[in-house]
Amino acid sequence: MSEFGLLIEYHYCTGCLACEVACQQEHNHPASRTGIKVTEYVMETPTGLSIDYVPFPTALCDLCAARTQRGEQPSCVKHCQANCMRYGRVDELAKEMEKKPRMVLFKPR
């Protein structure tokens, strides 16, 4: 069986938090717990400020095992408004990472 993961192209993340909300609703987590957390990074650049939003799975993330077993996308991927998250085989997602910068690949234990 191949291993699956989550590829996040954070360059396009808008920080809408839809992934966090979708995860909380999917797993009935309270507001203080989620399987994915969006972190805002503000940096000074020579031309002004740069703001990046990086959604990153937490220890609670199981890539929506019940959903993926039914052939569905993880809830965070389905509800990502910026369409910057992809679920798939880790080896295929790693090849995608070679094409563009500012991506992270998550593979659960």
| pLDDT range class, residue 57, cuts 50, 70, 90 | very high
Listed in sequence order, the residues at least 6 apart from 86 whose beta carbon sits closer than 8 Å to its beta carbon are 6, 7, 9, 77, 93, 96
Please give the average per-residue pLDDT across 20-49, as a whole number: 94
Judged against a pLDDT cut of 70, whether residue 37 lies above it is answered with: yes
Residue 48 has pLDDT above 80, yes or no: yes
Q: Which domains does the chain have, with CATH numbers?
A: 4-96 (3.30.70.20)
pLDDT mean over 29-48: 94
Q: How would you write the chain as a 3-class SS string?
A: CCCEEEEECHHHCCCCCHHHHHHHHHHCCCCCCCCEEEEEEEEEECCEEEEEEEEEECCCCCCCHHHHHCCCCCHHHHHCCCCCEEEEEHHHHHHHHCCCCCCEEECCC
Q: Which of 36, 4, 8, 12 is nearest to 22 (CA)?
A: 36
pLDDT at residue number 102: 85
